[in-house]
Structure 1
Amino acid sequence: MNVLRTTRRVAMGLVAAAAASFATSATAGGHGIDLSGKTVEWVIPFSETGGSAKWANFYAPLLSEALPGNPTVVVKFMPGAGSTKGANWFQEQKFEDSEGTLIFGSSGSTQFPYLLGDPRVRYEYNDWNVVLASGTGGVAYLPPDLAGKMDGLDASGLQGEDFIYGSQGATRLDLVPLLAWEMLGLQVEPVFGIKGRGDGRLMFERGEANIDYQTSSSYLKGVTPLVEAGTAVPMMSWGALDADGNIVRDPTFPDMPTFKEVCEATEGCETSGEKWDAWKAFFVAGFPAQKMVFLPAGASNDAVVTYTQAFEAIKARADFAEISGGRLGEYPQMTGEEATGALQSATNVPQGAKDFVTGWLKDRYGVSLN
């Protein structure tokens, strides 16, 4: 029998049986924790309208099924200061107080202030315990009238336009699109202060912004209907990395050109040199491991094992590729050593890239991180 044809009922039964078996053996052997009758709080440091919300809401019911004891998993939102508010709060939480019932979901917008030495950052990734790392991509899009001014991949026709963009802040994940658009010669004025990328999409829908980008999960759910209705046109994706570290087309959007392709076709945009190296370094830090799940500092090995095996059980579902593809896109979902390696890549960039971006932020937006 082809496992891809296994029914959803059978697949769910297999996962439930595996989780029950794990709960029995893990707690008996001292290599896991039982969460029977408990509620797991999954804190997301953004609003409920963005890609992180969609990612967490996708995983939450699956995690409830896979964790020993089948606890209720509740997603709670703590937006503010581009996610540093929620991350700072999580840093202060003690594992022994939560007994394994608190997890945190970070994003590239949490990673970038950490990388750049933002003075508001009071959290330390090395104190936390990663149990899942999710790759993702991003797509920039335009209204139809402006998209029509592109000549194939050449964005030169957009260089005389005035653009408005709803932004969480230049030191957040938004620096990837802001720097990319500048490299293309576009005049993009950000409106800072939105609490999540979904709020930027709403600005676009209301006509308050005329350029936007969303991570893949949010684009698939929130922007695809706009594209189908003819009110938005994809401009480019940020791309993905191949095994050699080269930027290639995003597997979720294989028919969409990458920023690299558009840059190569647009006069004045270079895919080499200091600016390109900085853009690529922060793209790598922000997207291949764009979202991660953590247990707080001091988490026991039993708790880390419990959550790691739960996410591994989710990935092993016969229907996982099908149900995740339409919600999250086709990106790696990493656990164990892969997740640890992804965390290292996401929280380390070359000093030259940091120096360039720090100078660019000060010159372009008056943001001083010293």
Structure 2
Amino acid sequence: MSLKKLATVTAVALTSAVAMAGTATAELDLSGKTVEFVIPFSESGGSAKWANFYAPLLSEALPGQPTVVVKYMPGAGSTKGANWFQEQTYEDTQGALIFGSSGSTQFPYLLGDPRVRYEYKDWHVVLASGTGGVAYLPPDLAAKLDGLDASGLQDTDFIWGSQGATRLDLVPLLAWKMLGLNVEPVFGIKGRGDGRLMFERGEANVDYQTTSAYLANVVPLVENGQAVPWMTWGALDDNGNIVRDPTFPDIPTFKEVCEATPACSTEGDAWEAWKAFFIAGFPAQKMVFLPRGATQEAIDTYTNAFNKIISRPDFAEMSEPQLGKYPQMTGAAARKALELATSVPPSAKAFVINWLKEDYGVTLE
């Protein structure tokens, strides 16, 4: 399902929510409580920006207006926090705990990473946020580009800060390879914000950030002449084709750059694998969950709260400068987005597992 179709489902869901506004429904009373919004990354990345955008709005929208506090639990590319959340139950937390996942949480799950001890089927999604990603370069390397053709970068030795080959960073890693670039990843950073800091300090000479972090932290670098936007990963149209990211319509997509670079091809196993993991990682890249055992009352309470936020007349004005122009999904649309984000074709999984083993010595068993 494309971003636009998901957005349509969301619009229908919101219309239904508004129509039911006068219907009495049981909701949690969270008066006097503190809701912990756990993010399994550091405070410097896109997930932190996303969570901190929603936290005060959620506090206002939830019954009883509880305090919503963002708590960071970085480690192991987000699997540490996700494994911790798997052990939590609704019975113990009573609606005062929510968890924010990202593509870097979804990819280890998709690939069967042995460190994964969490199961998405046990969790209850109440919001799914689409997003994008932008790759950028230092000005001296951007000058080597011949239009969209990246061939001029093939003699450059790149250093890049990465959370790990099985995280969301898989998407740019495979893109770098397809373009014929020599990129040496420095694995083990705790969040994409740490990769941006490496770029700022001159320790890395290529980077990418998801939309919220790019808008907040990289646009100033671009304005100061320290960075040049290179390409986005793109978005999906109604037919599943990759098109320009609606937040960055003036920046070419990886597909366009690939088509213009002789070493790269938008046909074959590598392309199909890249596209499958892009779809799994970005149209529903960030999601909010209640823990296992959540009651329908709790699910409805949080769903209604997010619906109130999304349907605010000023929501687009508030969200677009921080989150970009992407669907914010609840209800059936969020559940469909979760399905999209936690499944890839077996052929794409097999290609990626073999590539990770050959290029990085990563064995998933």
Q: Same fold (TM over 0.5)?
A: yes
Give the drift of 1:268.
1.5
- Aligned equivalent of 1:142, options 126, 137, 152: 137
State the AA in 1 paired with 2:337: A
* Cα shift at 1:369: 0.1
Matching residue of 1:15: none
Paired position in structure 2 for 1:215: 210
Matched ranges for 1:331-342 at <5 A: 331-342=326-337
Asked whether 1:178 is paired with 2:173, we answer yes
What corresponds to 2:255 in structure 1?
260
Secondary structure of 2:116's counterpart equals coil
Name which of 49, 55, 68 aligns with 2:63: 68
CA distance, structure 1, for counterparts of residue 43 and residue 354 of structure 2: 33
Query: Runs (4+) of structure 1 moved beyond 2 Å?
Result: none
Matches within 5 A, 1:317-356: 317-356=312-351
Q: What is the alpha-carbon distance in structure 2 between the residues aligned to residue 139 and residue 321 of structure 1?
A: 21
Q: CA RMSD in A?
A: 1.4
Distance 2:152 2:287 in 1: 38
State yes or no: 1:290 paired with 2:320. Answer: no
Mapped to 2, the partners of 1:184 and 1:134 lie a distance apart of 29
In the alignment, which of 30, 39, 43 is matched to residue 44 of structure 1? 39
Report the Cα distance in structure 2 between the residues aligned to 1:182 and 1:142, rounded to whole angstroms. 16
Pairwise CA distance, 1:25: 7.2
Amino acid at match of 2:192: R
Alignment partners' CA distance in 2, 1:359 and 1:298: 37
The partner residue of 1:122 within 108, 117, 127 is: 117
- What amino acid is aligned across from residue 100 of structure 2 in structure 1? G
Aligned position for 1:360: 355
Give the gaps of 5 or more residues in structure 1.
1-17
Question: What is the CA distance between 1:32 and its match in structure 2?
Answer: 1.5
- Distance in 2 separating the partners of 1:192 and 1:181: 15
Indicate yes or no: 2:239 matched with 1:244.
yes
Cα deviation 1:145-198 (Å, max 9, x = unaligned): 000000110100000100000000000000100100110011000000100000
Whole-Å Cα distance in 2 between the matches of residues 340 and 367 of structure 1? 31
Letter in 2 for 1:76: K
In structure 1, the partner of 2:310 is 315
Give CA deviations for 1:273-309 in whole Å, capped at 9, x if unaligned. 1000000000000000000000000000000000000
* Cα displacement (A) at 1:96: 0.8
Between the aligned partners of 2:324 and 2:85, the Cα distance in structure 1 is 28
Do residues 107 (structure 1) and 102 (structure 2) align?
Answer: yes
The whole-number CA distance in structure 1 between the counterparts of 2:349 and 2:317 is 38
In the alignment, the residues of structure 2 paired with residue 124 and residue 297 of structure 1 have an alpha-carbon distance, to the nearest angstrom, of 10
Establish whether residue 300 from structure 1 lines up as the match of residue 316 from structure 2.
no
Give the distance between the partners of 1:208 and 1:236, measured in 2 at CA: 21
Which residue identity does 1:321 align to in structure 2? Answer: A
Q: Report what 2:86 is aligned to.
A: 91
For these two proteins, the number of residue pairs brought into alignment is 348
Q: Equivalent of 1:206, from 201, 204, 229?
A: 201
SS at match of 1:298: coil
* Mapping of residues 164-175 of structure 1, within 5 Å: 164-175=159-170
- d(CA) in 2 for partners of 1:339 and 1:193? 30
Letter paired with 1:127:
D
How far apart, in 2, do the equivalents of 1:262 and 1:134 lie? 26
Name which of 226, 229, 238 aligns with 2:224: 229
Look up the equivalent residue of 1:309 and give its one-letter code.
Answer: N
SS in structure 1 of the partner of residue 322 of structure 2: coil
Residue 158 of structure 2: SS of its match in structure 1? strand
